[in-house]
Amino acid sequence: MAVHLRKYLRLNKLPHIWCPGCGHGIILNSLIRAIDEVGLDQEKTVVVSGIGCSSRATGYLNFNTLHTTHGRAMAFATGVKLGNPDLNVIVLSGDGDSAAIGGNHLIHAARRNIDITTVVFNNNIYGMTSGQYSPLTPKGAYGTTAPYGNVDQAFNLCDLMISSGASYVGRGATYHAKQLTTLITSALDHKGFSFVEGISQCPTYYGRRNNLKTAVDMLQWQKDVTIKKKAAEKLSPEEQQEKIMIGELHKVADRPEYVEEYEKVIEKVSKKEGTTG
Amino acid sequence: MSEKKPQLIQGNEACVKAAIAAGIKFFAGYPITPSSEIAEGLAEELPKVSGRFIQMEDEIASMGAIIGGSLAGAKSMTATSGPGFSLKQENLGFAAMAEVPCVVVNVQRGGPSTGAPTLPSQGDMMQAKWGTHGDHPAIALCPASVRETFDLTVRAINLSEKYRTPVVLLIDEVIGHMRENVVLPTQDELEIVERKKPAKDLDNYLPYKADDDMIPPMANYGEGYLFHVTGLSHDETGFPDLKNPDVIGGLTERLVNKVEDNKDDIVEYSTENLDDAEVVIVAYGSAARTAATAMDQAREKGIKTGLITLKTIWPFPEEILTDLLKDVKTVVVPEMNLGQIKGEIKNCINLSQNIVGVNRVDGELITPAEILEAIVKEES
């Protein structure tokens, strides 16, 4: 790692607790590179997480950090942003944290288009509690609570975010680490609710049960299954079904941002108060 | 607030005025009867003082949001009722553990579950103390009039900032919706407490190192201190340490003791006619109003009756009540629940003393006649 990036980490909290082969460190690496690229003021940046493997990331990041309750990171982050709109707010969440218990908060933050950047560490499984299926576990995959194969349909979280109103949506993967950094950089640069799904590997709890025994196997799987948006558009719908689209999936510049809209209310009210009072 | 003239307002409206006066700058909530006027009032008033209001997607989110808002430096509150209060408990525990000042108003309705939405109740007294899991500090205040709703809202906000802990304001529906003609204090008559700040030593700030008063100074996010906040058991640095029993136990005990050991500062109550009283009514909220009438009627019948009105419910004023009730023959406790606080008062008397509850959980108010009947029965 570039030496100057070390200031973004609490080096005394390392080594991290993630399992050997886990992809979360790669996403964390992409995140701090993106933060550096954008030039966010460290003292004015708050990183919020919920519960789960991904959520331990706040402990390693040298910012104002907030490790909240399960699924509620987005709610806490919304409060931080409204409590002081000058702060840059980043939410780090897992697939269970963001899409199961936190699903409601996630879609509403997207709907408001509040200026928060969210990075979901998607390892398709509940890792912290040792391998139960999550809302992003593919149908048919195995987990400790899906011993006969998962019956649930998985969410397409990026599609959900686009339809909920997020104004920036991207998906990357730890295999494509550089692209992931680019996506997070664009998300941090974006005004409004920006969302990046980072596909991560969990060889310990997902891979072992699903015939992808090592981190290398899982990365190879990512390489095989991911496809760039432009290339995917040339495929038939059936062929697309078998692929995971990565890259910048959605970006709109003209959606009003929540905090700015509320500031207009403050302005309007203070003008009114000024003329009558 | 600039002119001091009587105004006819609801308890819920008084709560809004007090919140603005005490410096609340952020409210996140989800509408629920009978608390909604508080959200509606603050939606209107907050932008006038450059504060912010948000209607969140649910009660859980609202509680999370006010914790975030408070950490970012804004005095923050939410308001709810029964089922919403149940949903807030998880993050209420977080606020206690992470020592984040904030205020939760619970305008109580009948329960359990969705219960009796528009009807009065005092059924959440114990939930305010034990609703979230684990041992934790609890401060809960309970007004008995519209003016007192104003005063105790200011006080709830002040106590939360001073002790770095969530404070619950337990209003009952009667007080929340009752209109009374009140004269409110002017802004300069109010004492407003601000959170204790750390010395400007950015590199050596220990966010959870308490001073002698058991309260750690609090930096806001964005002020230059980079620190970690978690709901996990943590040491003075704010980081989890689950290997050291002294750290886990020490933290929990400090959190509880910073409230329990400061009862002198936190506990508020009033007394009437205690000097010669053989019967004492102990009451709170709207039931205290009824009790005052019952006391007068009992006196007319020649029964020496007094009244203690509790404004602070938690921490419970056990020592004070033990002292005030020591020579009393009978204690009467009217409550719109099945005796939640009566159980606490029982710990303050001895076996030779009588204690009797006057209870209703049918959505109706307790009448003076019911309390009087209980007094007469005990004295005959």
Question: Cα–Cα distance between B317 and B327 in angstroms, integer?
Answer: 17
What pLDDT was estimated at residue A245?
A: 96
Contacts of A47 in chain B (CB under 8 A): none
* pTM: predicted TM-score of the whole model, two decimal places: 0.97
- Is the pLDDT confidence value at B2 over 60? no
pLDDT tens digit sequence for B74-117: 999 999 999 999 999 999 999 999 999 999 999 999 999 999 99
The residues pairing with A169 across neighbouring beta strands, listed in sequence order, are A195, A250
CB contact under 8 A, A84 and B65: no
Residue B380 pLDDT grade (very low, low, confident, very high; cuts 50, 70, 90): confident
User: Three-state DSSP class for A107?
Assistant: helix
Of A3 and A85, more confident? A85
Question: How many CA atoms within 13 Å lie on the side-chain side of A90?
Answer: 29
Q: Is B3's pLDDT higher than 70?
A: no
Q: Kindly state the average pLDDT of the residues B343-352.
A: 97
Is residue B202 very low, low, confident or very high in pLDDT (cuts 50, 70, 90)? confident
Best residue in A82, A112, A115, A259 to probe B by mutation, most B CBs within 10 Å? A82
Phi and psi dihedrals of B167, rounded to 5? -125, 135
Contact A108 B56 (CB under 8 A): yes
Instruction: Give the pLDDT mean for B46-69.
Output: 98
Q: Look at residue B224 in the predicted model and tell me its pLDDT.
A: 95
**Does the beta-carbon distance from B230 to A64 stay under 8 Å?**
no
Q: Stretch B4-28: mean pLDDT, rounded?
A: 97
Q: Give the pLDDT score at B66.
A: 98
Other beta carbons within 10 angstroms of residue B275's beta carbon come to 8
Instruction: Check residue A277 and give its pLDDT.
Output: 44
Shortest CA distance from B44: residue in chain A: A269
Residues of B in contact with A266 (CB under 8 A): 47, 50, 52
- The whole-number average pLDDT for the span B22-47 is 98
Tens digit of pLDDT for each residue in B245-303?
999 999 999 999 999 999 999 999 999 999 999 999 999 999 999 999 999 999 999 99
Asked whether the beta carbons of A51 and A97 are under 8 A apart, the reply is yes
Q: How high does pLDDT run on average in chain A?
A: 96
Q: What percent of chain A has pLDDT over 90?
A: 94
Q: Across-strand partners of B354?
A: B330
Q: What is the pLDDT of residue A272?
A: 83
Average pLDDT over residues B6-32: 98
Chain A residues contacting B, CB < 8 Å? 13, 42-44, 46, 48, 58-59, 62-69, 72, 74-84, 86-87, 104-105, 108, 262, 265-266, 268-270, 273
Average pLDDT over residues A138-145: 97
Q: Which of chain A's residues have a Cβ under 8 Å away from the Cβ of B70?
A: 79, 83
Q: What is the pLDDT of residues A149-179, one digit of tens each?
A: 999 999 999 999 999 999 999 999 999 999 9
Answer whether B48 sits within 8 Å of A84, measured CB to CB.
no
The answer to whether B133 and B91 are in contact (CB under 8 A) is no
Q: What is the mean pLDDT of chain B?
A: 97
Contact B321, B348 (CB under 8 A): yes
Is B222 in contact with A64 (Cβ distance < 8 A)? yes
| 3-class secondary structure, B311 | coil
Residue of B24, B26, B58, B67 to mutate, testing the A interface (most A Cβ within 10 Å of its Cβ): B67
The reported pLDDT for the residue numbered B31 is: 97
Q: Are B69 and A104 an interchain contact pair (Cβ–Cβ within 8 Å)?
A: no
The tokens for B378 are: 């005990």
Percent of chain B having pLDDT more than 90?
96
CA distance A272 to chain B (A): 9
- What confidence category does residue B378 fall into, taking pLDDT thresholds of 50, 70 and 90? confident
Structure tokens at A163: 């339809």
Residues of chain B contacting residue A90, judged by C-beta atoms under 8 Å apart: none
pLDDT band at A1 (very low <50, low <70, confident <90, very high): low
pLDDT tens by residue, A17-33: 999 999 999 999 999 99
Cβ <8 Å between B68 and A79: yes
Q: Give residues 225 to 264 of B whose Cβ lies within 8 Å of A.
A: 225-232, 239-240
Q: In this complex, do A62 and B70 lie within 8 Å of one another by their Cβ atoms?
A: no
Q: Which residue of A has its CA nearest to B77?
A: A79
Say what the pLDDT of residue A273 is: 78
Model confidence pLDDT, tens digit, residues B154-169: 999 999 999 999 999 9
d(CA A231, CA A235): 7
- Choose the weakest-confidence range: A100-109, A187-196, A265-274, B138-147: A265-274
Per-residue pLDDT of B110-146, as tens digits, reads 999 999 998 999 999 999 999 999 999 999 999 999 9
- Chain B contacts of A63, Cβ < 8 Å? 226
B228 contacts A67? CB cut-off 8 A: yes
Contacts of B54 in chain A (CB under 8 A): 78, 82, 262
